[in-house]
């Protein structure tokens, strides 16, 4: 898997994962707890790995191009 997320994208996803985990364990109840926790896991996973399957499917790449010299 080639990374398709840039640094800013990864930081945003990491921030969103913290928000979702906070919501899951403080505000939500019932099914919404599992949904927000799942979204938190998804955002954290894609932020750490740097690869988003949905981006790959849609042909989106926010990762900067590196020049090889």
d(CA 26, CA 60): 34
- For the chain, 69 residues long, the average pLDDT of each consecutive 10-residue run is 92 98 92 95 96 94 78
Give the model's pLDDT for residue 67: 61
Give the model's pLDDT for residue 48: 96
Burial class (CB in 10 A: 0-12, 13-18, 19+), 42: middle
Domain ranges of the chain: 7-58
Give the model's pLDDT for residue 8: 95
Task: Indicate the pTM of the whole model.
Answer: 0.85
């Amino acid at each position: 898997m080639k990374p398709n997320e840039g640094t800013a994208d990864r930081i945003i996803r990491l921030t969103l994962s913290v928000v979702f985990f906070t919501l899951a364990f403080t505000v939500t109840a019932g099914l919404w707890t599992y949904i927000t926790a799942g979204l938190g896991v998804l955002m954290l996973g894609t932020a750490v790995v740097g690869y988003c399957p949905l981006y790959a499917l849609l042909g989106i790449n926010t990762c900067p191009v590196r020049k090889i010299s």
